[in-house]
């Protein structure tokens, strides 16, 4: 978890692609403008076709499209552009372009080198083989693997083995940007530096846990990736299961990579496998159809991708999962993700049990359980909800209030590091605490593959849900059968 590092070289394979333009380059520029990315660092963007026009004009254009827009500081933009170089490079065969890349990197022999593979997984093997062939996998080199890591357990294992021929496990950084979010850092800090939370963090006091990643966008522009992948592979196998691990893991001996990964792996090994009828009862699979978003008509999944035939690719998944160990026995974890939902957010809700007895008759019908809320996007937010007496009401009426646990920056110049920048800096420093070990990837796939295999064997298509709704009714039913509710259905606003 390193914020300050020495000058480094970052090679972004797929450097002019979508991930680099939308996330990586804006994050790096913001860090440079804030003094976190050191001068003397170099950013090399590989591209099959190069770049038309000067780098600074291209950067200014893509930064203007980010939210919030960056790149308004002309001097900072000019200085940052001087660090950036675009290199035409093929990722299947070597040649003069690879000789050129090698010469550039060898010109600064003291710089750590980060190879960020922002490319399809099908190119991971050939790219890593070429990095090894040209000697770009030495001790100062690390490789970052962007998701998705495989399409199944078998393919993930193959990628891990192929990459492992060139880079050791200590050089391999499997990124999940949700783990770099500030709220996740605060979750770890609150859990493991406050005895108050640790004493409450188990099935003795917790009723259930909800983890939701909701998206209001559809899949337009992602046809090449999304069709045949779906929400389970795209979001559950990595993001949702990684968040579940951080919530459920035992306190690590130290907040360092090996200890954290060991505890996360124990959680994945303890996840109860779902089979047959359990999948039918505890997993909801759906695909959005035409509906309305903010009063405007929008098309369904098939229309967005111009599909001529029906598709079995799911855009929504809700799962009821259990962890079979002493801490979490009997506590359900509800996981949910979907596209074309009414709102965009990522949130963890820890709901505690109701009080066992209400000592006042006026309180009995007015009690809400305590809830700890960790919001990861669109903004970081930590809060604890509890009941207090309503001073403005007669009698003994209660009301729910929210205790804000957000950390206020110490000053106007305080630097907030976004998730991708945090993880890039950690990679430079060789800190793997917030990255995923190959064993975690494989155990997550093993759990998810059972669900995928069942869907394929059953041949049942996904349930439909109108765009702009919270998924099919069956997802609502998943909770109400247990006499529970999704947090968004409870009404999120409370009195201040």
Q: Given this model, what pLDDT does residue 455 score?
A: 96
Pair (284, 414) in one structural domain: yes
Residue 187 pLDDT class (50, 70, 90 cuts): confident
**421-439: per-residue pLDDT in tens?**
999 999 999 999 999 999 9
pLDDT band at 493 (very low <50, low <70, confident <90, very high): very low
Q: How many CA atoms lie within 13 A of 311 on its CB side?
A: 22
Please tell me whether residues 145 and 269 are part of one structural domain: no
3-state helix, strand, coil in the chain (%, to 5): 40, 20, 40
pTM for this model (two decimals)? 0.92
pLDDT for 412: 45
- 23 lies in the same domain as 50: yes
Q: Per the domain annotation, does 280 fall within a domain? A: yes
pLDDT in tens, 163-183: 999 999 999 999 999 999 888
Residue range 49-102, pLDDT digits in tens: 777 778 888 998 888 877 666 656 788 889 999 999 999 998 988 888 999 999
Same structural domain, 306 and 393: yes
Residue-wise pLDDT for 304-353, tens only, equals: 998 888 899 999 999 999 999 999 999 999 999 999 999 999 999 999 99
Task: Dump pLDDT digits (tens) for 193-239.
Answer: 888 888 899 999 999 999 999 999 998 766 667 888 999 999 999 99
Torsion angle in degrees (nearest 10) through CA of 437, 439, 440, 442: 130
d(CA 279, CA 282): 5
User: Does residue 494 carry a pLDDT above 50?
Assistant: no
Query: What pLDDT was estimated at residue 456?
Result: 94
In a domain, 192, yes or no: yes
- Quick one: 108 and 48 in the same domain? yes
Percent with pLDDT over 70 in the chain: 91
Classify residue 4: in a domain, yes or no. Answer: no
* 177, 239, 381, 443: the active-site residue: 239
Here the CATH number for the domain that contains residue 52 is 3.40.50.720
Cβ atoms of residues 287 and 464 within 8 Å: yes
Q: Is 326 among the domain residues?
A: yes
**pLDDT band per the 50, 70, 90 thresholds, residue 3:** low
* Same domain assignment for residues 303 and 185: yes
Instruction: Kindly state whether residues 186 and 131 are assigned to the same domain.
Output: no
83 and 62 co-located in one domain? yes
Q: What is the pLDDT of residues 450-491, one digit of tens each?
A: 999 999 999 999 999 999 999 999 999 999 999 999 998 665
239 is catalytic: yes
Could you tell me if 206 and 142 lie in one domain? no
Number of domains in the chain: 2
Same domain as 333, residue 226? yes
**Contact predicate 465/218, CB 8 Å:** no
495 falls within a domain: no
The answer to the question of residue 223 being in a domain is yes
State which of 120, 141, 174 marks the end of a domain.
174
pLDDT at 254: 87
Instruction: Provide the sign of the torsion angle of the four alpha carbons 102, 107, 110, 112, taken in this order.
Output: negative
Asked which of 174, 189, 204 is the last residue of a domain, the reply is: 174
Compute CA 378 distance to the chain's CA centroid, rounded to the nearest angstrom.
12
Residues 186 and 84 in one domain: no
The CATH number given to whatever domain includes residue 240 is 3.30.360.10
Domain of residue 31 covers 9-174
Domain boundary among 174, 191, 211: 174
Q: Is residue 369 part of a domain?
A: yes
Q: Give the ranges where 288-418 is alpha helix by DSSP (H).
A: 301-304
Name the residue with tokens 């859990």.
191
Q: Stretch 5-28: mean pLDDT, rounded?
A: 93
* Cβ–Cβ under 8 Å, residues 238 and 341: no
Tell me what pLDDT residue 464 has. 97
pLDDT in tens, 245-283: 999 999 999 888 999 999 999 999 999 999 989 999 999
Q: Say whether both 282 and 159 belong to one domain.
A: no
Q: Is there a domain that residue 2 lies in?
A: no
């Amino acid at each position: 978890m390193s914020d300050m590092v020495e000058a480094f070289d970052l090679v972004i394979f797929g450097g002019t692609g979508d991930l680099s333009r939308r996330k990586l380059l804006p994050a790096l520029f913001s860090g440079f403008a804030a003094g976190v990315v050191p001068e003397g660092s170099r950013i090399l963007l590989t591209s099959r076709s190069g770049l038309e026009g000067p780098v600074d004009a291209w950067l200014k254009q893509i930064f203007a499209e980010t939210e919030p827009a960056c790149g308004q500081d002309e001097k900072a933009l000019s200085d940052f552009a001087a660090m950036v170089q675009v290199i035409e490079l093929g990722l299947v065969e070597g040649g003069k372009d690879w000789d050129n890349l090698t010469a550039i990197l060898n010109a600064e022999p003291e710089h750590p080198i980060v190879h960020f593979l922002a490319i399809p997984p099908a190119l991971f093997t050939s790219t890593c083989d070429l990095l090894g062939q040209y000697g770009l996998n030495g001790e100062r080199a690390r490789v970052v693997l962007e998701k998705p890591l495989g399409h199944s357990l078998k393919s993930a294992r193959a990628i891990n083995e192929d990459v492992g021929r060139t880079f050791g496990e200590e050089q391999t950084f499997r990124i999940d940007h949700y783990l770099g979010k500030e709220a996740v850092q605060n979750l770890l800090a609150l859990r493991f530096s406050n005895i108050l939370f640790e004493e409450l963090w188990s099935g003795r006091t917790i009723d259930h846990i909800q983890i939701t990643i909701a998206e209001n966008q559809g899949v337009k522009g992602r046809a090449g990736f999304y069709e045949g992948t779906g929400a389970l592979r795209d979001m559950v196998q990595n993001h949702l299961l990684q968040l579940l691990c951080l919530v459920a893991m035992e306190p690590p001996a130290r907040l360092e990579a090996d200890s954290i990964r060991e505890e996360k792996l124990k959680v994945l090994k303890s996840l109860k496998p779902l089979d047959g009828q359990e999948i039918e009862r505890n997993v909801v699979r759906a695909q959005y159809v035409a509906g309305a978003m903010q009063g405007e008509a929008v098309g369904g999944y098939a229309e967005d991708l111009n599909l001529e035939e029906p598709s079995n690719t799911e855009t929504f998944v809700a799962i009821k999962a259990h962890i079979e160990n002493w801490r979490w026995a009997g506590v359900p974890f509800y996981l949910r993700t979907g596209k074309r939902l009414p709102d965009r957010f990522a949130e963890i809700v820890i709901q505690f049990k109701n009080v066992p007895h209400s000592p006042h008759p006026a309180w009995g019908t007015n009690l809400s359980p305590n809830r700890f809320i960790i919001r990861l996007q669109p903004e970081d937010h930590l809060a604890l909800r509890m009941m207090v007496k309503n001073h403005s009401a007669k009698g003994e009426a209660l009301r729910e209030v929210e205790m804000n646990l957000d950390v206020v920056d110490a000053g106007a110049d305080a630097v907030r590091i976004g998730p991708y920048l945090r993880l890039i800096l950690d990679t430079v420093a060789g800190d793997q605490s917030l990255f995923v070990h190959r064993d975690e990837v494989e155990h997550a796939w093993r759990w998810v593959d059972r669900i995928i295999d069942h869907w394929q064997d059953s041949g049942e298509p996904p349930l439909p849900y109108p765009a702009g709704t919270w998924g099919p009714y069956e997802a609502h039913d998943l909770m109400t059968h247990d006499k529970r509710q999704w947090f968004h259905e409870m009404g999120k606003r409370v009195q201040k």
